[in-house]
Structure 1
Amino acid sequence: MNPSFKFILALIISVEISLRSSLLTNFLIIFFALGYLICKHIKLSNLLLTLLMPLIAAFTVFATLYWFSPQPNLQNALSLSSRIYVYTLTIYCVSIDTTATEFARSFEQNFHLPSKFAYGVLAALNIVPRMKEAVKQIRTAGMMRGVYLSFWSPVLYFKAILVALNSAENLAQGMASHGYRENAKRSVIAAVPVKKSDWLQSIAILVLVNLALLTLK
């Protein structure tokens, strides 16, 4: 499915789940999302981590609404706490087989996202590994001089900011040297088309979700 359609579909489902309470619908979405992730051959460790990370938030919501509420309602507490897993798993289904580059290209071509924003996001994501390596080099250089820069040291982050500014300047010069112009018309290297199957799949999923919300409690 088209990356933009997957993102918008997950967003619409999340909004609808937030507006209407349906415990069975939440469980059905969680079940099908887990099935989809398993079909994508997700690693067991990643799947367990995905299920464990929202557990604290879901348990907190459940405990607040059921144990500490003057009028406890088990179904309402389960419905609201299970929404956290719906949000987490649907977003994971969107991102599991789609890279940030594909998202940026899809939003730029299909939803006319400004190219400067799309390329800016990609630049920010691609610079993160370099920043991690730069921080390690700064800490190593400090230790060689007998200076230990801790994780919360302002000196470490000040130097990291200087490295980031220098990298941003180099990136801007590199894009300009490759012919990038902000308002100029750009050619497409890798087209991300919208197919009829994207519309059909999105409409079918939305219809099923809305039927479940209207008929199931």
Structure 2
Amino acid sequence: MTNNDSTTRGLNPATLTLIMIGIGLPLAFANSVWLNVIVSIIGLLYLIAMRVSWRKAGIVLLVALPLAFGSWISFWFFGTVDRWHLAWMYASRVYAYLLLGMILTMTVSTQRWLVGLHLHFHLPNAFVFGLLGALNMGNRVRREFRRIQYSALVRGENLRLWNPLLYLRIILVSLNWSNDLAEAMTSQGFTENAPRTELISDPLPAWQWVLAIGLIIIYCGAAFGLRPW
């Protein structure tokens, strides 16, 4: 499998991951409403440039609205000092974190993200292929979930979603699948810690590293140096 560079758009997944982590960590300690708003606006502009589905993006933003409003209400009514600033800071932080995650999860496929982390951050092969195998079995898990419920009904048992026996049986089935997956990977020539030929090309231009590091430095300098409201 090869990756056609002409079909990829936007920043490399490794770059987006570095930006998300590099800004997300100091964002937890920054006390700035304006920086939260700026991060949110830049995230929205990137989503617009990537032409994401605004229906999906709108649903995500609406789902987060009660969380942001709840944070605002909590600090406005129960805060002890600078309630106005704290209320807006924590409410805007919800959307800043949300949009930092959306620029990655809504613009990059899971496979391309994991491959990018493997190639550029040296994520282990076993973790990447194992996780991809588990994610690709999602539909099979749902079918097995229904099959266990139907087989229980035949025996006169009604396994509700809150019944621990249902999940115990799924865990047992998943353990068998895990062994099958490991055998399949071995039969296809996979050997852990052995050198492998990389068939997937995922170029990462140097300017994207500079962009990511530059954005992180600018954010940290503004958050802990300038300290805007």
Distance in 2 of aligned mates of 1:5 and 1:159: 40
2:197 counterpart SS class: coil
Distance in 2 of aligned mates of 1:212 and 1:107: 28
Matched, 1:159 2:172: no
| Larger CA deviation: 78-87 vs 44-53 | 44-53
Residue of 18, 26, 30 corresponding to 2:40: 30
Distance in 1 of aligned mates of 2:222 and 2:135: 38
Unaligned runs of 5+ in 2: 1-10
Counterpart code for 1:53: V
Matched, 1:82 2:96: no
Cα offsets for 1:59-90 (capped at 9, x unmatched): 23222221112334212220122111111111
Q: State the partner residue of 1:56.
A: 66
1:113 counterpart SS class: coil
Equivalent residues of 1:61, 1:80 under 8 A apart: yes
Q: State the partner residue of 1:179.
A: 189
Equivalent residues of 1:116, 1:182 under 8 A apart: yes
Counterpart code for 2:17: F
Cα offsets for 1:150-190 (capped at 9, x unmatched): 11122211221121111111111111100110121011020
Distance in 1 of aligned mates of 2:37 and 2:108: 25
Distance in 1 of aligned mates of 2:81 and 2:19: 35
Q: State the partner residue of 2:228.
A: 216
Matched, 1:42 2:49: no
Unaligned runs of 5+ in 1: none
Q: State the partner residue of 1:68.
A: 78
Distance in 2 of aligned mates of 1:44 and 1:24: 25
Equivalent residues of 2:64, 2:94 under 8 A apart: yes
Residue of 111, 130, 133 corresponding to 1:101: 111
Counterpart code for 1:216: P
Equivalent residues of 1:65, 1:72 under 8 A apart: no
Residues 154 and 73 of structure 1: is their aligned pair in 2 closer, same or farther, counting only changes over 3 Å?
closer
